[in-house]
Amino acid sequence: MIPVQGYTGARVAVLGLGRSGLTSCAALAAGGAEPLAWDESPDARSQAENQGITLHDLGRIDWSGVAALITSPGIPHLYPAPNRIIAAAMAAGVPVDNDIGLFFRSFATAETMEFDQPPKVVAITGSNGKSTTTALVHHILQQAGRPCQMAGNIGKGVLSIDPPQNGEVVVLELSSYQTELARSLTPDIAVFTNLSADHLDRHGGMGGYFAAKRRLFAEGGPDRAIIGVDETEGQFLAGQIGQNPEDMRVIRMSSGRKLTGPGWNVFARKGFLAEYRQGKQVVSVDLRAVKGLPGAHNHQNACAAYAVARSLGIAPRLIEDALHSFSGLPHRSQLVAEADGVRYINDSKATNAESAAQALQAFDHIRWIAGGLGKDGGITSLAPHLGHVTKAYLIGHSAREFALQLGDTAHEVCETMERAVARAMADAQSGDVVLLAPAAASFDQFKDFECRGQAFIDAVNARLLRESATDDK
């Protein structure tokens, strides 16, 4: 655990008692603060009490004696409207922070500064690819024999990691909800993968969403910034950080086009990753045979992770070997099974149209399972990417809405995951890919995207098992 610094003897309110809130309470107490814990859910309060946490109703406290309010990422503090408790704290002039802010203010200590190699923090944000990039960086570091930990929006909560060792690297995945509010953001290396419309109600529009991501770079001043420049926002951000086009503190990266600028560039094109410095090619890596990273979107993730690893001094050959041994993450272009020439791919994490587009471009002859709780615009933006779709099988709340947006693409409204899998498997022929890439949130039928992905896995495996039993008779 990372004990929180700067609040010894102070009363600090904690709103939201999920993973980050519970860990914040423990880390604050370890640092000598008195946490005042509360959650508006009775179930969450009961679970917290079972863990020995004393509750304080933050809707009724006197804020004059409170040093700060630490809130969980999912609780809105600005748009579309502040939570009532956060609004009361802000009106009383109480600073509002989150566990990410506590982590960055507490990570470096007098002890770590005496290490031969001070520990470093790599922070990764963006709309799509954050989790895969974070896990891939962690995997490369492990394969290179570097001490490392992974936390944030993936793995452990940031305050629950072990105190860092000499030369250790902590790799964090950070969402816009986390970067938006953290009062301290000081990574050594910061990564911006890409930007597409998401969470717009929470951030008051696209500008607010980009501003939340940008804070990781503008507030933190990382020693190295790795920026995806395939969107205008990334180009703008890279230009703001670098002093000039030759500034090697900025690594520009792209998936799909060659970068020819005079600085430090990493890009993937036609299945090959290339590193250029000062206009000269340094390295080329063939990504086509890397099974854990299929498609252009995963090649962008490979570029980001490669750039991080090179920034940390890891040799290209070690990085390439680690790319080949990376098996991917569950629910992100995950190969579930292959039978009779048909591959079954679980990309349940494709919760918006942009991420679904990446999945649709990664495979041919797709039998596409999509739907759920659709987002603004539905799947109209996917029209240019439907050429590989043989047929769509639609589920969930937005099934009929999606059907109207598919044009001439063959489709069937199936409502449930079980029926969609059954119909897709019955139709599939050798060479086809049965792909779950919902382009929608999961909350209409499932607790989260993991549960949705597991339902797909279970349905596929159950039918394959039945077919195998039938063939044995």
DSSP string covering 45-96, please?
HHHHHHTTPPB--TTSS-GGG-SEEEE-TTS-SSSS---HHHHHHHHTT--E
Shared-domain flag, residues 89 and 141: no
Q: CA 471 to CA 465: how far, in whole Å?
A: 10
Number of domains in the chain: 3
Do the annotations mark residue 130 as ligand-binding? yes
Q: Is residue 4 part of a domain?
A: no
Q: CA 332 to CA 350: how far, in whole Å?
A: 7
Q: Is residue 385 part of a domain?
A: yes
What are the counts of helices (DSSP H) followed by strands (DSSP E) for the chain?
16, 19
- What distance separates the 2 farthest-apart alpha carbons in the chain? 75
**Amino acid at site 329:** L
CATH number at residue 384: 3.90.190.20
Q: Is residue 6 part of a domain?
A: no
Tens of pLDDT along 282-326?
Answer: 999 999 989 889 888 899 999 999 999 999 999 999 999 999 999
The angle at the Cα of 67, spanning 62 to 71, to the nearest 5 degrees, equals: 90
Arithmetic mean of pLDDT, 269-273:
95
Q: Among candidates 276, 272, 297, which has minimal Cα distance to 287?
A: 272
Do the annotations mark residue 346 as ligand-binding? no
pLDDT at 119 over 70: yes
pLDDT of residue 467: 85
Q: CA 158 to CA 174: how far, in whole Å?
A: 10
**Amino acid at site 29:** A
Shared-domain flag, residues 43 and 150: no
CATH number at residue 46: 3.40.50.720
Q: Is residue 424 part of a domain?
A: yes
The pTM for the full model equals 0.85
Q: Is residue 2 part of a domain?
A: no
pLDDT at 241 over 60: yes
End-to-end CA distance of the chain: 56
Mark residue 54 as left, alpha or beta (left: phi above 0; alpha: psi -120 to 50; beta: remaining). beta
Q: Is residue 3 part of a domain?
A: no
Domain that holds residue 367: 334-472
pLDDT at 155 over 80: no
pLDDT category at 355 given cuts 50, 70, 90 is confident
> Which of 260, 295, 325 is at the close of a domain?
325
Shared-domain flag, residues 310 and 202: yes
DSSP string covering 80-138, please?
S---HHHHHHHHTT--EE-HHHHHHHHS--HHHHTSSS--EEEEEE-SSSHHHHHHHHH
Tens of pLDDT along 201-238?
Answer: 899 999 999 999 999 999 878 999 999 999 999 999 99
pLDDT of residue 106: 96
Shared-domain flag, residues 83 and 134: no
Q: Which residues contact 137 (CB under 8 A, 6 or more apart)?
A: 122, 124, 171, 304, 305, 308, 309
pLDDT of residue 154: 86
Tens of pLDDT along 423-461?
Answer: 999 999 999 999 999 999 999 999 999 999 999 999 999
Lowest mean pLDDT among 106-110, 181-185, 236-240: 106-110
Task: Note whether 421 and 401 are within 8 A (CB).
Answer: no
Shared-domain flag, residues 224 and 292: yes
Shared-domain flag, residues 345 and 463: yes
* % the chain with pLDDT above 90: 87
Do the annotations mark residue 128 as ligand-binding? yes
pLDDT at 328 over 90: no
Strands (E), 164-231: 169-173, 189-192, 224-228
Shared-domain flag, residues 375 and 424: yes
Q: CA 369 to CA 396: how far, in whole Å?
A: 11
Shared-domain flag, residues 77 and 107: no
pLDDT of residue 278: 92
Tens of pLDDT along 410-419?
Answer: 999 999 999 9
Shared-domain flag, residues 200 and 214: yes
Token couple for 2: 């990372």
pLDDT at 150 over 70: yes
Q: Is residue 208 part of a domain?
A: yes
> Which of 325, 357, 390 is at the close of a domain?
325
CATH number at residue 133: 3.40.1190.10
- Mean of pLDDT over the chain: 94
Q: Is residue 5 part of a domain?
A: no
Shared-domain flag, residues 224 and 250: yes
When comparing pLDDT for 141 and 375, which is higher? 141
Lateral strand order in the sheet of 272-277: 148-152, 169-173, 120-125, 189-192, 224-228, 250-255, 264-269, 272-277, 280-286
**Residue where the block lists tokens 């509010």:** 181
> Which of 81, 97, 113 is at the close of a domain?
97
Do the annotations mark residue 71 as ligand-binding? no
Shared-domain flag, residues 63 and 158: no
Do the annotations mark residue 132 as ligand-binding? yes
Shared-domain flag, residues 61 and 111: no
Do the annotations mark residue 325 as ligand-binding? no
pLDDT of residue 112: 87
pLDDT of residue 472: 62
Do the annotations mark residue 129 as ligand-binding? yes
